[in-house]
A and B are shown apart, each in its own frame.
Chain A
């Protein structure tokens, strides 16, 4: 299916600040698209442009082929779940949900039927006659969703809808949102600064920074193949190592010369190569001599008290443990390597009674395989 919602070269400035600059995006009908970015990245502005509260300085917005760029919010087939829910405090849950229909002057009996359907969908029947102040945060959230969906919008905008909820409730609501989406099939645009929410909900994710999209892709692509240092650092945690690409004696790998992590070793076949070169899998052609950044996720790095046995395509560095944070399911280590800290997560798979956990100030070896890292090449990548 082709593009259902299209943003074409959207630009928006406030005063001298360009908040959204030349952004283009295509959404498929029925997809859940996550817009992920830090505060101030322009994602809320983009949302308000889509809802119709703002008009772009340049570019067009098309919904199902119709140009809606100049259509006011009340006439757009777009509804929003606001960050603070924005429920009408003087109306009951039922009246809140039915607001859109009563504004549209639908017959009262029709409104009752439709609202009942929404109450079923969001399991709010017991609270229909309560005011928003009499229900819990999660219930308010569901009212806001029901209220936005009852107009059968072609696009549902969700503006950080879970930000005000506590962690457990947030996880429950994510599952619930997924269920609701399966039921109604509306196209969702989910705006958040939380990468966990963006990834778990979205079919695709756009990472936004400084008014631009840094990367658009599936959650897996964005996590595994970040196109920029910003994406690598914002989506999940990572260790970035600046390096220069050099050739090695192996067709499947690039060599990376770096002085950032002290003495390093790489293994090819049964051969260990000490020096200042790391290996990374060759997923695309990168010219020799290019400056690049290696991103290695902390969960991909193995931590040991002793040097690891030689293994094909393995990189090894070593350092001193500086920080240990025990989290139950795993331990986060920060290891001082040369002049910097490398983040390493050790997953606790089995409970071993005699195992003495690695602790502060121990000397440790860190190793990962060449396909555990991803090489980021940016036009402006610092050397």
Chain B
């Protein structure tokens, strides 16, 4: 590979500086803050302590972390399941229709995010349209609560993050050579088998990107659970906000924030591992005289 020239490195200084000042330093400060004792006003006192971290052992926190992870994971799984067929379909459309459908997918972004979540609150409200329709169709009892629970959060999470899953998957599907599916069919594969064995591996990078782009923001959700969720369906984001504002305990908020950051390393680690395996496999293959077929 070519050695990068010294002058080319200069180009990255602005963005590098930006990241240091507004990302790296604040992150370090937040982590540091979590090891500070609390003073009377809820700000950081003097000295260092592990007390805040010890207090996270309180059963309420593991519960919230666990809920945050499984809600985000469910949201990611549902989004991927829904968007893979959509991406396939869009990639198969002819150019004119493809543009129109893509426009429809990004259309919701023209409305403010918060307004869209409040719209869901109206829809799911005990007197809302969606509730009335569900009751009329016999899918819900008049006394069922559609709002302020985990289900409502999951629904709105999926609604919010679905376009973010569709777009990278579409980008991957668009580059996919669909004649490969013909080849698989020709060799005896059913449509389903061709889809599973050829299409899904073919859009693998898109799947990994969609996974990250949905899972990570979902983990940090704050607005959605605080608007459509209830007191028994809090996520880490809500707890951080509560500690930082209502309860006024900054070290505690910092500790929870650090915990969220650590949680985010889980999906990142998974993807990094998968990518590394791909690279190693690609690098190892030519030298292997093996005769193995999986």
| Selected interface stretch from B5-13, B181-189, B223-231, B233-241 | B181-189
A99 within 8 A of B: yes
Residues 128-159 of chain A: 1 if any B CB is under 8 Å from the residue's CB, otherwise 0?
11110010000000000001100100000000
**Contact A104 B291, CB 8 Å, known A86-B180, A90-B204, A129-B285:** no
Which of these binds chain B: A77-85, A206-214, A252-260?
A: A77-85
Closest to A144 in B: B183
Residues on B with C-beta less than 8 A from A100 are 187-188
- From B179, B197, B286, A82 is in contact (CB under 8 Å) with B179
Q: Which residue of A lies closest to B179 (CB)?
A: A86
| CB neighbors of B among A85-115 (8 A) | 86-90, 92, 94-95, 98-100, 102-104, 108, 111-112, 115
**Bound CA span A92–B185, Å:** 19
B187 contacts A151, C-beta separation under 8 Å? yes
Contact A102 B293 (CB under 8 A): yes
The B interface, classified by DSSP as helix, strand, loop or mixed, is helix
Asked if B95 is at the interface of the complex by the 8 Å CB criterion, the answer is no
Contact check, B201 vs A90: say whether CB atoms are below 8 A apart: yes
Residues 100 to 122 of chain B near chain A (Cβ within 8 Å): none
What's the minimum C-beta distance from A107 to chain B, rounded to whole angstroms? 11
State the Cβ distance, A93 to closest chain B Cβ, in Å. 10
Tier of interface size on chain B: 20 to 34
Contact of A129 among B183, B193, B201, B286 (CB under 8 A): B286
List residues of chain B with CB within 8 A of the CB of A130.
285-286
Task: Report Cα–Cα, A88/B182, bound state, in Å.
Answer: 11
A98-B182 CB under 8 A given contacts A79-B187, A104-B188, A147-B187:
no
- Contact check, A86 vs B182: say whether CB atoms are below 8 A apart: yes
Instruction: Point out the residue from A52, A99, A108 that lies within 8 Å of B187, measured CB to CB.
Output: A99
Q: Are B188's CB and A94's CB within 8 A?
A: no
A327 to B282 CA separation, bound complex (whole angstroms): 46
Contacts of A89 in B (CB 8 A): 180, 202
B177 engages A111 (CB within 8 Å): no
Query: Interface residues of A, CB < 8 Å — how many?
Result: 39
Nearest residue (CB) in B for A126 is B289
**A313-356 Cβ-contact flags toward B at 8 Å (1 or 0):** 00000000000000000000000000000000000000000000
Give residues 239-294 of B contacting A (CB, 8 Å). Answer: 282, 285-286, 288-291, 293-294
Report whether B187 and A134 are in contact in the complex, using a CB–CB cutoff of 8 Å.
no
A116 at interface (Cβ–Cβ under 8 A)? yes
A73 within 8 A of B: yes
In the complex, what residues of B have CB within 8 A of residue A99's CB? 184, 187, 189, 197
Complex Cα gap A72–B184 (Å): 12
Decide if A84 touches B198 in the complex (CB within 8 Å).
Answer: no
- Find A79's partner among B186, B201, B293 (CB 8 Å cutoff): B186
Contact A74 B291 (CB under 8 A): no
Supposing A88-B198, A129-B286, A130-B285 touch, asked if A94 and B185 sit within 8 A by C-beta, the answer is: no
Contacts of A129 in B (CB 8 A): 285-286, 288-290
Flag B33-46 by CB within 8 Å of A: 1 or 0 each. 00000000000000
The reply on B190 being an interface residue by CB < 8 A is yes
Whether B185 and A112, one on each chain, are in contact in the complex, defined by CB atoms closer than 8 angstroms, is no
Interface contact A84-B190, CB-CB below 8 Å: no
A and B contact pairs by CB, cutoff 8 A, 27 listed = A74-B185, A74-B190, A80-B183, A80-B186, A82-B183, A86-B177, A86-B179, A88-B180, A94-B291, A94-B293, A98-B293, A99-B184, A99-B187, A99-B189, A100-B187, A103-B187, A103-B193, A103-B197, A104-B188, A108-B293, A112-B293, A116-B291, A128-B291, A129-B286, A130-B286, A147-B187, A151-B187
**Further 20 A-B residue pairs, CB within 8 A, beyond A103-B193, A130-B286, A148-B187:** A72-B185, A73-B182, A73-B185, A74-B185, A74-B190, A79-B186, A80-B182, A86-B182, A87-B183, A88-B183, A88-B198, A90-B202, A99-B187, A100-B188, A102-B293, A103-B189, A111-B293, A130-B285, A131-B282, A148-B186
Residues of A near any B CB (own CB < 8 A): 51-53, 72-75, 78-80, 82, 84, 86-90, 92, 94-95, 98-100, 102-104, 108, 111-112, 115-116, 128-131, 134, 147-148, 151
Cβ-closest 5 pairs across A and B: A86-B183, A100-B187, A90-B201, A73-B185, A103-B188
